[in-house]
Amino acid sequence: MLNRAERRRRFIHALQRACQRHELIVQLYRRLAAQAPTEQHEQILLNLAAAEANHQQRYARTLRRLHAAPLVQVSLLDRLWLWLLPHCGLDLAMRWITWIERCDTKAVREAALLAAALPSHRERAR
Domain spans of the chain, in order of start: 4-125
Domain 4-125: top CATH class: mainly alpha
Q: How does pLDDT run across 27-66, given as a tens digit for each residue?
A: 999 999 999 999 999 999 999 999 999 999 999 999 999 9
What average pLDDT is seen over the chain? Answer: 90
d(CA 23, CA 112): 21
**pLDDT for 126 beyond 80:** no
Q: What is the pLDDT of residue 114?
A: 83
Q: How far apart are CA 25 and CA 21, in angstroms?
A: 6
Tell me what pLDDT residue 125 has.
Answer: 57
